[in-house]
Structure 1
Amino acid sequence: MDIGVRTDTGRIRENNQDSYYLPSEESKPLFIIADGMGGHKAGEIASNLAINIISENFNDFLNKGNINEKNIKNNIIESFNEANEKIYRKAMKEEECSGMGTTVVLAYISDENLYIGHVGDSRAYSLYGEEFLQITEDHSLVEELIKNGSISKEEAKTHPQRNIITRAVGTSRDIDVDILVLPKTAVEILLLCTDGLTSMLDDNEIKDTLINSENMQIACDRLVQFSNDKGGYDNITVLALEF
């Protein structure tokens, strides 16, 4: 597996509130990115907490064995719930963390399947041949407006409320986690990214960069560079895996 990752503050923001996780062992192929929100450094705290809690919880599960599809899905949800509870409690207790939260998108690769868990508007994409698909659905206001026919996808890109998300880890007592399972054979490249990438580049630009790069690290470096060239209005995190 060829892995690339890059995170960048962008051209406008002072702090990078994105976080990511790469596995320390090949036998535990867990990958996570998170995009924090909140005043001062609260977003950074939220995304870091989510990454640390979810990765620790899920790796504990992997160490215990008894790994099957049902258990994997259940543990992804449990890991998200634990992160949600701890971030929410910290936000309620500490004034400087009030209102903080984070998006999270997770990928775990088993022998046969690819498991995706996500909350928020950070995305997972799959590339197979020339077919490039967004496999997560944004939990955002504009996504709901697109679904009910109020606006088009094109209009969503410039909508004044395009940054409002409808789900996040840590902003309420309970969360709904989306779980997706794909056969590994249906994916050649998996991309996880925060909206600092997708607000700057369209799907075709992302696809072409993945296809035309020598390896995944070069692809990630280029995607960040291209996003910054277009303005870099937000933090950018890109994690790419080629199977």
Structure 2
Amino acid sequence: MLAAALTDTGNIRKNNEDSYYISDNNDLRLAIVADGMGGHNGGEIASKYAIDSVLEYFKKNYINLNKNVDSIKEFIENSIRYANEMVFNKAFSNNDLIGMGTTLTLLLLEQGFYFIGHIGDSRAYLIRDNRIVQITEDHSYVEELVKIGKITHEEARTHPQKNLITRALGINQEIEVDLFMGEVRPNDIYILCTDGLTNMLTDDQILKEFIDNTDIYKACDSLIKLAKFNGGYDNITIVAVKEVVK
């Protein structure tokens, strides 16, 4: 597995409320992206604390995991629910942090499959055979409008309420987590990114950089620069994981 990650504050924001993680342990092929929100520095705290909480859950429980498909999916969901509980409780322990929350999108490669846990409007993509597919579904107001046919995907890109999300981690005691899985194939590239990237770029632009650059770090770097060139109105984070041919 090859992995690369970059984050940038962008052109407008003063703080970076995005966080990410890539495992450096060959026995745990895990990557996470989170995009925080909240007053003061709440967003920055929420995204980092959520990832730290997921990692804490993995550290305590992963070694005892029965690694069949159903158990792995349940494990991922439980890790995100644990993070939700921790962020929710932390927010209510400090008046300055009340209302803070975060998106969270997690990728685990295990037993020849990819597993993705997801809440919010950060995204996971799969690049395979020079095609890009969005795996996750945005939990956002505009995505709901698209689903019921009120607006098109193109109109959603510039909709004035595109930043309103309908699900987040840390806001409520109970959350609904989306889970996805599929077979891993050689040369697959998995991308986790915040909306600071996808609001500035099309899926085709993302795909082009990974086709043009065999080095996934260079592709990520080019995409960050392009997102900033196109406006960079938000924090921008991208993690790319490539399955190496064995």
Q: What TM bracket, shorter-length normalisation?
A: over 0.9
After superposition, what is the alpha-carbon deviation per residue over 1:23-81, rounded to whole angstroms, capped at 9, x for unaligned? 13111001101000011210000001110011221233222242221111111111111
> For 1:117-136, what aligned pairs fall within 5 Å after superposition?
117-136=117-136
- Assess if the C-alpha contact under 8 Å between 2:65 and 2:72 holds in 1: no
- Assess if the C-alpha contact under 8 Å between 1:197 and 1:236 holds in 2: yes
Q: Distance in 2 between matches of 1:111 and 1:89?
A: 34
1:53 aligns with: 53
CA shift, 1:143, in A, is 0.5
Q: Distance in 2 between matches of 1:232 and 1:110?
A: 34
Summarize the Cα distance change of 1:151–1:65 in structure 2 as closer, same or farther, 3 Å threshold: closer
Summarize the Cα distance change of 1:188–1:79 in structure 2 as closer, same or farther, 3 Å threshold: same
2:162 aligns with: 162
2:96 is the counterpart of 1:96: yes
Secondary structure (helix, strand or coil) at the match of 2:237 reads strand
CA shift, 1:187, in A, is 6.7
Unaligned runs of at least 5 residues, structure 1: none
After superposition, what is the alpha-carbon deviation per residue over 1:100-146, rounded to whole angstroms, capped at 9, x for unaligned? 00000000001310000000000000011122100100000000000
Q: Distance in 2 between matches of 1:210 and 1:111?
A: 26
After superposition, what is the alpha-carbon deviation per residue over 1:165-186, rounded to whole angstroms, capped at 9, x for unaligned? 0000001111000000110028
Q: Name the % identity.
A: 46
CA shift, 1:160, in A, is 1.1
2:30 aligns with: 30
2:7 aligns with: 7
CA shift, 1:92, in A, is 2.1
Secondary structure (helix, strand or coil) at the match of 1:32 reads strand
Q: Distance in 1 between matches of 2:59 and 2:215?
A: 27
In structure 1, what residue type is equivalent to 2:70? K
Q: Distance in 1 between matches of 2:93 and 2:56?
A: 23
2:111 aligns with: 111
In structure 2, what residue type is equivalent to 1:19? S
Secondary structure (helix, strand or coil) at the match of 1:210 reads helix
- Assess if the C-alpha contact under 8 Å between 1:36 and 1:101 holds in 2: yes
Give me the TM-score of the superposition, normalised by structure 1: 0.97
- Assess if the C-alpha contact under 8 Å between 1:21 and 1:55 holds in 2: no
- Assess if the C-alpha contact under 8 Å between 1:30 and 1:55 holds in 2: no
CA shift, 1:188, in A, is 1.2
2:230 aligns with: 230
Q: Distance in 2 between matches of 1:56 and 1:139?
A: 26
Q: Distance in 2 between matches of 1:36 and 1:153?
A: 24
Alignment: residue pair count:
243
1:82 aligns with: 82
Secondary structure (helix, strand or coil) at the match of 2:34 reads strand
Secondary structure (helix, strand or coil) at the match of 2:14 reads coil
In structure 2, what residue type is equivalent to 1:163? N
Q: Distance in 2 between matches of 1:111 and 1:216?
A: 23
Secondary structure (helix, strand or coil) at the match of 1:185 reads coil
CA shift, 1:17, in A, is 0.3
Q: Distance in 2 between matches of 1:112 and 1:60?
A: 23
1:141 aligns with: 141
Is the deviation greater in 48-57 or in 90-99?
Answer: 90-99
